[in-house]
C-alpha cells in the first residue's frame, strides 16, 4: 500500500509537470524569434514591407507625373489642331472673330473634355473663351514665345482665373504672319482630383501586396519550421555535427549524389568498400572508378533494393533511393554492405533450389507423350542449358522398337555392358548449333572399357569426368571425334545410365563447353535422379509402343489385305489407326452370287487389343452371314443376335461386368450395302452407323436418309433394322466411312460432313484419287480415332450379257428355254459351257415347273463366270441328297453340284432363286455317265 501511494503522490505529478514544461518550452521554441523559422519569417516580412513602401512611393510620384504629362499632351494636341484648322486665319481677320469662332471653340472644348479653350489676337486679346465674361480682356502671362518666336509650348500657368496646365499655339496665315493665338488647358485642381481618385486603388494594391508577401513568408516559415522542427541555428549546427559523427561510424557505406550525378558525400565505410580517396567529392560518378553497372544505376535515377554489384573482389548489396521522391531532377542516396561471404552461401542455396525446380520441371515436361523418341528429346531439352551446355540420349535398338530390353540386357553387369556397347543416338540438344557430337540416328559404341560411358554401364551409376582432356579412354574410343570436341570447347562430361526396373534402356550424357565450371561430385545425385525419372517415362513409352505395335499387327491381320476380284464396282480404300491406340474400325468387300457385291464398314467402340479382337469376330461373322445371301436388314439382325449372345456369356458380378465392358463388342456399329450391277439397285441398312455419301457422275453429292437402327448388341426390341433401296447410275461413287474421319478436336460431326461434301464434289476422279482428296482435306495431324474409308464406283452389266425368259408351268416349256439358252451361249462364245449349262437349266427349270409356283423365270448373266438363275414364287428349299441305285429320281441337285463351280439358293420377299456358276475352262465332273438331257426333265429332286 505504501508503494502504491508513492506512485499516486507528488512524484508522478512532478513528472507530469516536467513534461508540460518541455512542451511549453517546445511551443515557445517553435513560435519564438530565436528559431530559424521565426528569424526567417521576420526578415522576409521586413524586407517585404520596405519593398512595398518604396514601390508605393515611386508609384505615387510616377502617377502624378503621368497625369500632368497627359494633361500637357492633350492640351497641346487640341490647341495645335484648332490653330491649324482651315479658315481660322480668315476668321481672325474678319470684323467679328468672336461671332465666328466662339461656338466652334466651345464645341471643341466640350468634345475634348478640356477645362478651357481661348482664341487670342496677336496682342493677347481674347476673341473667345470658355467664360464669356472674359471675352475682350487681355490674357495674363508672357506670350512672347508664341507671338514673337512662333513656338508652340505648354506651361504650368498660375494666375487668374485659375492655375492650369496651359498650351499656347500661334495661328499663322498663308504669308507666315502670326495672326492670333490658341490656348487650351486643364485646371490644376482638376488634375489633382483625378490623381486623388487613384490613390485608394494604389493603397489597396500596396496593402494586398503586403498581405501576400507576409502570407508567403508565413508559409515558408511554417514549412521551414516543419523541416527544422523549430530548432535554432546553434541546435542545427550541433545536430549536423552529431549526424556526421553517426554517418561515419556506421558499418554501412553511404554515398550522396546530387542531381548532376556528382558525389556530395561519402562516409568512411563507403570509401573503404569502394576505394575512394579524399578528393572524390564533387567528382562525377563515372570518374570514381566504380563498376559500370553501378555507374549506370546511379545515372539512371531509378530506385533499387539489394542489388548485387561487384567492387573489386567484393560483392556489395546496393540500395538506391532518390533524395526527392517526386522531383524531376533529384539526387540519390546509395547504401551498400559487403555480402561476399553471404553470396557464397546463398549461391549454393540458389543452386540447390534451381536443381529442385529443374527436377520438378522434368517431372512435368518429360513423358508428355507415349513416344520413346519424343521422351528422349524431352530429357535432352530439360537439361540444356540450365544443367549442361549439350545433352545426348542413346537408347538400345530393342527399346526403340518397343521390345523388352531384358531380352538383350538382363542386368547392369559386365555382361550387360558388352551387350549394351552399341546404342542408337536418339536425342541431341545444344545451347548453340553446330556442335561436334554425332548426329541423331548414328550408332554410338563404347568398346573401350575405360570410357566414362562404359564405366557407368558397368557400375549402374553416374560417372563424372571433370577434365575431358585427361580422359585417356574417352580419347582412345574416337581420337578424331575427341579432338574435334576438345577444339570446340568441350571440357567436362557427366554420363549416367537409364535404368528402369533394374534393366538398362540406354544412357544420357551431359557436356559442358560454354559453362566454365566443370561437373563435380555434387552433380552426380542430381543427374541420377533426372535420369531415373526419364527412364521410367521412356519405359512407359516403350511398353505403349509395344502394345500399340501388337494391336496394329493384329488389326492389320484381321483387315482384308487384298480385295477380292469382282466386276460390280471399282474400289479404293484407306485405313489409318489412331495415334492414341488401335481401334475397332473395319471395312470389307464381299462378292455375292449373281455378280453382286456387298460393301461393309463398321466400328467397334474403344481402342486396343480388345477392340481389334472384337472387330475380327464381327468381320468373320459378317462373312459367314453373307453366305446366307439375305437382305442387309436380315443380315444385321443375325449379327445383332450373335453379338448379344456373345456378350451375355460373360459372367455376372463386378469382374464380369468389367470384362464385358473391356472385351465385349456391345456398342459396335455397322453399315451393310448390296449392289446389283445387273439392275443398278443398291440396298443399304445401318446398325447405328453413319450413312454413306452418294456422288453422282456429275459431281453432285447427297447423303441419303437411312433408318439408323440401334448399335449391335443393344437388342432390337420392336424396332427391327430397315433397308433402303437406292438406284445408282453407272459411274456413281458410294463413299462409306467411319466417324473418325469427320470428328476430331475442334470439329464436330456436322462440320466434318460439310467438309466431306465439298471435297467429294470434284467430278471425274477415280476412287484412288477420291480417297487421297478426302484424307488430304479431313485427316487431322494426330487422329484420336481410327479412320476407315471405302470408295466404290459403280458399274452396270452390259444388257447384251443378260438373257431372261419367263417359263410357263408346263413341262413342255423346258426344252424351248434350254435351246434358247444354248443359242445365247453360242452367241457369247461360251460353246464349251453349253452342255453343262443345258443340263443345269433342265434340272432347275423342271423342278421349278413341277414343285414351284408362278412366276417361273430364267436368267443368264455373262460376267467373270456364267451365272444361271431360276426363280419361282415358292419358298420351298431344295436339298441335296444321294439317290440309291434303285431310286428313279433324286439325282437332280447332285448333278447340278457336280457340274457347277458353285450353287445355292437365294430367298427374296416372295419366292426363291436357285443359282449356279460355271467358269469357262473349268474341270469336267468326275462322272462320265450322264443321262440324256431330255430324260432329266423326268427326274425329281
Which of 128-132, 209-213, 686-690, 761-765: highest mean pLDDT? 686-690
The answer to whether residue 708 scores a pLDDT higher than 90 is no
Pick the more confident residue, 746 or 941.
746
The answer to whether residue 794 scores a pLDDT higher than 90 is yes
* pLDDT classification of 119: cutoffs 50, 70, 90: confident
User: Which of 95-99, 459-463, 487-491, 770-774 has the lowest average pLDDT?
Assistant: 95-99
> Which class for 472: exposed (0-12), middle (13-18), buried (19 or more C-beta within 10 A)?
exposed
Q: How large is the average pLDDT for residues 239-259?
A: 76
Integer CA distances (angstroms), 805 to 552, 808, 817, 824, 845, in order? 51, 10, 7, 12, 11
What order of strands is seen across the sheet that includes strand 583-592?
583-592, 596-607, 669-676, 681-687, 723-727
All residues at 6 or more sequence positions from 565 whose CB lies less than 8 Å from its CB, including other chains: 591, 864
Q: How large is the average pLDDT for residues 819-836?
A: 89
Q: Which three cell numbers stand for residue 481?
A: 571425334
Contact 638, 630 (CB under 8 A): yes
> Which pLDDT value is given to residue 681?
95
DSSP letters spanning 233-249: HHHHHHHHHHHHHHHHH
> Which class for 784: exposed (0-12), middle (13-18), buried (19 or more C-beta within 10 A)?
middle
Mean pLDDT across the chain = 80
> Which pLDDT value is given to residue 642?
85
Q: Which three cell numbers stand for residue 697?
A: 457422275
Residue 810 belongs to what H/E stretch? none
- Cis before 161? omega within 30: yes
The answer to whether residue 771 scores a pLDDT higher than 90 is yes
The answer to whether residue 825 scores a pLDDT higher than 60 is yes
The predicted-structure confidence for 77-94, as pLDDT tens digits, reads as follows 888 888 888 888 778 888
Integer CA distances (angstroms), 280 to 36, 256, 265, in order? 32, 12, 9
CA 764 – CA 881 distance, rounded (Å): 52
> Which pLDDT value is given to residue 881?
56
User: What count of residues does the chain have?
Assistant: 941
HSE at residue 726, side-chain half, CA atoms within 13 A, is 26
**Degrees to nearest 5, angle at CA 842 with 836 and 848:** 135
> Which pLDDT value is given to residue 684?
96
Pick the more confident residue, 197 or 497.
497
DSSP β-bridge partners for residue 506: 395, 498
Contact 203, 55 (CB under 8 A): no
CA 504 – CA 531 distance, rounded (Å): 11
* pLDDT classification of 420: cutoffs 50, 70, 90: low
Q: How large is the average pLDDT for residues 763-777?
A: 91
User: Which of 134-138, 459-463, 833-837, 889-893 has the lowest average pLDDT?
Assistant: 889-893
Contact 372, 400 (CB under 8 A): yes
Residue 401 belongs to what H/E stretch? helix 397-401
> Which pLDDT value is given to residue 21?
46
CA 684 – CA 693 distance, rounded (Å): 12
Contact 75, 187 (CB under 8 A): no
The answer to whether residue 393 scores a pLDDT higher than 90 is yes
> Which pLDDT value is given to residue 130?
82
Contact 181, 172 (CB under 8 A): no
Closest of 459, 468, 379 to residue 425, by C-alpha: 379
CA 822 – CA 811 distance, rounded (Å): 18
The answer to whether residue 316 scores a pLDDT higher than 70 is yes
The answer to whether residue 926 scores a pLDDT higher than 50 is no
Which residue bears the cell 554410338? 444
Integer CA distances (angstroms), 787 to 375, 604, 741, 747, 845, in order? 26, 12, 5, 15, 48
Integer CA distances (angstroms), 786 to 454, 535, 559, 571, 733, in order? 44, 30, 13, 20, 22
Contact 425, 440 (CB under 8 A): yes
DSSP letters spanning 548-576: HHHHHHHHHHHS-SSPPP-SSEEEEEEEE
> Which pLDDT value is given to residue 198?
66
* pLDDT classification of 879: cutoffs 50, 70, 90: low
Q: How large is the average pLDDT for residues 174-202?
A: 76
> Which pLDDT value is given to residue 15?
44
Pick the more confident residue, 28 or 752.
752
> Which pLDDT value is given to residue 635?
93
Q: Which three cell numbers stand for residue 192?
A: 489633382
The answer to whether residue 859 scores a pLDDT higher than 90 is yes
* pLDDT classification of 882: cutoffs 50, 70, 90: low
**Degrees to nearest 5, angle at CA 910 with 907 and 914:** 35
Contact 426, 386 (CB under 8 A): no
The predicted-structure confidence for 607-629, as pLDDT tens digits, reads as follows 767 777 888 889 889 999 998 88
The predicted-structure confidence for 510-548, as pLDDT tens digits, reads as follows 999 888 889 888 888 888 999 999 999 999 988 888 877
Q: How large is the average pLDDT for residues 21-42?
A: 58
HSE at residue 510, side-chain half, CA atoms within 13 A, is 30
* pLDDT classification of 796: cutoffs 50, 70, 90: very high
> Which pLDDT value is given to residue 633?
92
Crossing angle of helices 609-626 and 522-558, rounded to 10°: 0
User: Which of 111-120, 418-427, 453-462 has the lowest average pLDDT?
Assistant: 418-427
Q: In the chain, pLDDT over 70 holds for what percent of residues?
A: 82
User: Which of 356-365, 449-458, 815-824 has the lowest average pLDDT?
Assistant: 356-365
3-class DSSP assignment, residue 442:
coil
> Which pLDDT value is given to residue 582?
66
> Which pLDDT value is given to residue 104?
83
> Which class for 864: exposed (0-12), middle (13-18), buried (19 or more C-beta within 10 A)?
middle
Q: In the chain, pLDDT over 90 holds for what percent of residues?
A: 21
Full 3-state SS string of 33-93? CCCHHHHHHHHHHHHHHHHHHHHHHHHHHHHHHHHHHHHHHHHHHHHHHHHCCCCHHHHHH
Contact 510, 493 (CB under 8 A): yes
| Torsional class of 714: left (φ above 0), alpha (ψ -120 to 50), beta (otherwise) | alpha
Q: How large is the average pLDDT for residues 105-132?
A: 84
| Torsional class of 269: left (φ above 0), alpha (ψ -120 to 50), beta (otherwise) | alpha
DSSP letters spanning 333-367: EEEEEE-HHHHHHHHHHHHHHHHHHHHHHHHHHTT
Amino acid at each position: 500500500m505504501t508503494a502504491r501511494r508513492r506512485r499516486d503522490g507528488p512524484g508522478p505529478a512532478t513528472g507530469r509537470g516536467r513534461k508540460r514544461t518541455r512542451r511549453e518550452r517546445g511551443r515557445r521554441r517553435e513560435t519564438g524569434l530565436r528559431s530559424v523559422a521565426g528569424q526567417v519569417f521576420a526578415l522576409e516580412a521586413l524586407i517585404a514591407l520596405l519593398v512595398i513602401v518604396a514601390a508605393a512611393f515611386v508609384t505615387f510620384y510616377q502617377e502624378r507625373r503621368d497625369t500632368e504629362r497627359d494633361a500637357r499632351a492633350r492640351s497641346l494636341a487640341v490647341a495645335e489642331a484648332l490653330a491649324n484648322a482651315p479658315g481660322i486665319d480668315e476668321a481672325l481677320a474678319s470684323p467679328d472673330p468672336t461671332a465666328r469662332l466662339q461656338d466652334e471653340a466651345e464645341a471643341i472644348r466640350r468634345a475634348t473634355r478640356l477645362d478651357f479653350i481661348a482664341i487670342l489676337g496677336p496682342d493677347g486679346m481674347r476673341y473667345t473663351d470658355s467664360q464669356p465674361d472674359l471675352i475682350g480682356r487681355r490674357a495674363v502671362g508672357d506670350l512672347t514665345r508664341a507671338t514673337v518666336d512662333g513656338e508652340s509650348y505648354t506651361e504650368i500657368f498660375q494666375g487668374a482665373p485659375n492655375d492650369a496646365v496651359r498650351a499656347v499655339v500661334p495661328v499663322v496665315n498663308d504669308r507666315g504672319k502670326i495672326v492670333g493665338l490658341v490656348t487650351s488647358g486643364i485646371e490644376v485642381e482638376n488634375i489633382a482630383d483625378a490623381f486623388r481618385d487613384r490613390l485608394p486603388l494604389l493603397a489597396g494594391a500596396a496593402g494586398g501586396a503586403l498581405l501576400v508577401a507576409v502570407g508567403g513568408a508565413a508559409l515558408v516559415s511554417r514549412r521551414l519550421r516543419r523541416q527544422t522542427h523549430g530548432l535554432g541555428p546553434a541546435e542545427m549546427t550541433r545536430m549536423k555535427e552529431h549526424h556526421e559523427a553517426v554517418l561515419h561510424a556506421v558499418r554501412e557505406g553511404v554515398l550522396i549524389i546530387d542531381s548532376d550525378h556528382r558525389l556530395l558525400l561519402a562516409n568512411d565505410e563507403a570509401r573503404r568498400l569502394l576505394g575512394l580517396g579524399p578528393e572524390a567529392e564533387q567528382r562525377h560518378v563515372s570518374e570514381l572508378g566504380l563498376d559500370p553497372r553501378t555507374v549506370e544505376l546511379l545515372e539512371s535515377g531509378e530506385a533499387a533494393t539489394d542489388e548485387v554489384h561487384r567492387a573489386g573482389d567484393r560483392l556489395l548489396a546496393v540500395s538506391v533511393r532518390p533524395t526527392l521522391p517526386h522531383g524531376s531532377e533529384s539526387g540519390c542516396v546509395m547504401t551498400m554492405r559487403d555480402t561476399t561471404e553471404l553470396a557464397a552461401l546463398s549461391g549454393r542455396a540458389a543452386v540447390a533450389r534451381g536443381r529442385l525446380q529443374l527436377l520438378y520441371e522434368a517431372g512435368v515436361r518429360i513423358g508428355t507423350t507415349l513416344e520413346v523418341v519424343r521422351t528422349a528429346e524431352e530429357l535432352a531439352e530439360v537439361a540444356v542449358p540450365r544443367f549442361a551446355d549439350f545433352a545426348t540420349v542413346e537408347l538400345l535398338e530393342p527399346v526403340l522398337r518397343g521390345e523388352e530390353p531384358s531380352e538383350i540386357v538382363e542386368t547392369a553387369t559386365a555382361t550387360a555392358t558388352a551387350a549394351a556397347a552399341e546404342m542408337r543416338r536418339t536425342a541431341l540438344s545444344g545451347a548453340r548449333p553446330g556442335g561436334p557430337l554425332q548426329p541423331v540416328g548414328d550408332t554410338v559404341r563404347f568398346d573401350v572399357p575405360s570410357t566414362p560411358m562404359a564405366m557407368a554401364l558397368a557400375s549402374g551409376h553416374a560417372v563424372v569426368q571433370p577434365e575431358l582432356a585427361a580422359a585417356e579412354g574417352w580419347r582412345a574410343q574416337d581420337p578424331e571425334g575427341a579432338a574435334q570436341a576438345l577444339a570446340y570447347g568441350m571440357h567436362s562430361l557427366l554420363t549416367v545410365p537409364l535404368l528402369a526396373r533394374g534393366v538398362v534402356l540406354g544412357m544420357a550424357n551431359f557436356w559442358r563447353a560454354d559453362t566454365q565450371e566443370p561437373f563435380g561430385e555434387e552433380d552426380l545425385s542430381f543427374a541420377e535422379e533426372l535420369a531415373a525419372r526419364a527412364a521410367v517415362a521412356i519405359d512407359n513409352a516403350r511398353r505403349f509402343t509395344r502394345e500399340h505395335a501388337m494391336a496394329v499387327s493384329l488389326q492389320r491381320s484381321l483387315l482384308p489385305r487384298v480385295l477380292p476380284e469382282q466386276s460390280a464396282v471399282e474400289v479404293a480404300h484407306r485405313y489409318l489407326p489412331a495415334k492414341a491406340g488401335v481401334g475397332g474400325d473395319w471395312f470389307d468387300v464381299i462378292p455375292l452370287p449373281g455378280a453382286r457385291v456387298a460393301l461393309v464398314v463398321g466400328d467397334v467402340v474403344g481402342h486396343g487389343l480388345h477392340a481389334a479382337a472384337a472387330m475380327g469376330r464381327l468381320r468373320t461373322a459378317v462373312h459367314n452371314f453373307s453366305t446366307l445371301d439375305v437382305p442387309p436388314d436380315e443380315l444385321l439382325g443375325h449379327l445383332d443376335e450373335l453379338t448379344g449372345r456373345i456378350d451375355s456369356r460373360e459372367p455376372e458380378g463386378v469382374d464380369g461386368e468389367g470384362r464385358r465392358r473391356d472385351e465385349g463388342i456391345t456398342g459396335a456399329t455397322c453399315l451393310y450395302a448390296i449392289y446389283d450391277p445387273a439392275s443398278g439397285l443398291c440396298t443399304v441398312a445401318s446398325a447405328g452407323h453413319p450413312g454413306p455419301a452418294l456422288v453422282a457422275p456429275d459431281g453432285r453429292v447427297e447423303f441419303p436418309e437411312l433408318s439408323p437402327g440401334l448399335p449391335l448388341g443393344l437388342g432390337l426390341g420392336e424396332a427391327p433394322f430397315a433397308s433402303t433401296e437406292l438406284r445408282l447410275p453407272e459411274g456413281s461413287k458410294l463413299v462409306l466411312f467411319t466417324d473418325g474421319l469427320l470428328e476430331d478436336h475442334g470439329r464436330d460431326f456436322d462440320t466434318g460432313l460439310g467438309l466431306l461434301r465439298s471435297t467429294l464434289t470434284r467430278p471425274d476422279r477415280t476412287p484412288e484419287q477420291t480417297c487421297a482428296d478426302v484424307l488430304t482435306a479431313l485427316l487431322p495431324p494426330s487422329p484420336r480415332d481410327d479412320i476407315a474409308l471405302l470408295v466404290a464406283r459403280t458399274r452396270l452389266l452390259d444388257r447384251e450379257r443378260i438373257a431372261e425368259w419367263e417359263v410357263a408351268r408346263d413341262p413342255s416349256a423346258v426344252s424351248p428355254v434350254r435351246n434358247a439358252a444354248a443359242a445365247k451361249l453360242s452367241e457369247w462364245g461360251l460353246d464349251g459351257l453349253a452342255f453343262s449349262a443345258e443340263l443345269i437349266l433342265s434340272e432347275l427349270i423342271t423342278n421349278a415347273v413341277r414343285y414351284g409356283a408362278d412366276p417361273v423365270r430364267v436368267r443368264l448373266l455373262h460376267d467373270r463366270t456364267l451365272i444361271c438363275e431360276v426363280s419361282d414364287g415358292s419358298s420351298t428349299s431344295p436339298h441335296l441328297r444321294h439317290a440309291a441305285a434303285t431310286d428313279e429320281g433324286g439325282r437332280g441337285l447332285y448333278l447340278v453340284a457336280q457340274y457347277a463351280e458353285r450353287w445355292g439358293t437365294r430367298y427374296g420377299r416372295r419366292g426363291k432363286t436357285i443359282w449356279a456358276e460355271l467358269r469357262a475352262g473349268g474341270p469336267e465332273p468326275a462322272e462320265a455317265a450322264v443321262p440324256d438331257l431330255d430324260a432329266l426333265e423326268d427326274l425329281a429332286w
